[in-house]
Chains A and B, each alone.
Chain A
Amino acid sequence: AQSVTQPDIHITVSEGASLELRCNYSYGATPYLFWYVQSPGQGLQLLLKYFSGDTLVQGIKGFEAEFKRSQSSFNLRKPSVHWSDAAEYFCAVGAGGSGTYKYIFGTGTRLKVLA
Chain B
Amino acid sequence: NAGVTQTPKFQVLKTGQSMTLQCAQDMNHNSMYWYRQDPGMGLRLIYYSASEGTTDKGEVPNGYNVSRLNKREFSLRLESAAPSQTSVYFCASKSRGTDTQYFGPGTRLTVL
Contact = CB atoms under 8 A, between A and B. Distances in A.
A79 B19 CA distance: 46
28 contacts: A6-B42, A9-B40, A32-B99, A36-B103, A43-B4, A43-B90, A43-B104, A44-B90, A44-B92, A45-B103, A46-B100, A46-B102, A51-B99, A90-B43, A94-B99, A98-B50, A99-B50, A101-B50, A101-B94, A101-B99, A103-B33, A105-B35, A105-B42, A105-B44, A107-B40, A107-B41, A108-B40, A108-B42
Interface of A: 6, 9, 32, 34, 36, 42-46, 49, 51, 90, 94, 98-103, 105-108
A98 B4 CA distance: 21
Contact of B45 (A49, A90, A102): A102
Interface of B: 4, 31, 33, 35, 40-45, 48, 50-51, 54, 56, 58, 90, 92, 94, 96, 99-106
Contacts of A42: 105-106
